[in-house]
Amino acid sequence: MTMPTSQCPWRMQVHHIHQETPDVWTLSLLCHDYYPYRAGQYALVSVRNSAETLRAYTLSSTPGVSEYITLTVRRIDEGTGSQWLTREVKRGDYLWLSDAMGEFTCDDKAER
């Protein structure tokens, strides 16, 4: 079993992976604990579950509505993280994520 890093303490299991376009995949993750995040935030992913290589990905699911935590990833030819997530990670694998980050979020109660 892999262990968390100090920056990525959240263990999530890959439930399924869906190819959206020739170069974009969505990874649907199960988190067995409550994972607080807001629309517009991102998380660091521990690439190959190591503390040395971290990459940031937008949390693309809807907080409080979506069954899964989702990351939508565009594969970059020389991208260490995107190549790993879209070519090597499989259903049932575990990923380690950081706390949700970022202040570019929607207001909870927008004016109409």
| pLDDT tens digits along 42-82 | 999 999 988 899 999 999 999 989 999 999 999 999 999 99
Residue 23 domain-assigned? yes
| Total domains present in the chain | 1
Residue 112 domain-assigned? no
Residue 109 domain-assigned? no
Q: What pLDDT shows up at residue 5? A: 78
Q: Which two tokens stand for residue 104?
A: 């570019």
Check whether 110 has a pLDDT greater than 60: no
Residue 51 domain-assigned? yes
Q: What pLDDT shows up at residue 22? A: 98
Residue 79 domain-assigned? yes
Check whether 111 has a pLDDT greater than 70: no
Domain holding 47, by residue range, is 10-97
Residue 105 domain-assigned? no
Q: What's this model's pTM, rounded to 2 decimal places?
A: 0.87
Q: What pLDDT shows up at residue 69? A: 98
- CATH number of the domain encompassing residue 93: 2.40.30.10
Residue 66 domain-assigned? yes
Residue 70 domain-assigned? yes
Binned at pLDDT 50, 70 and 90, residue 108 comes out as low
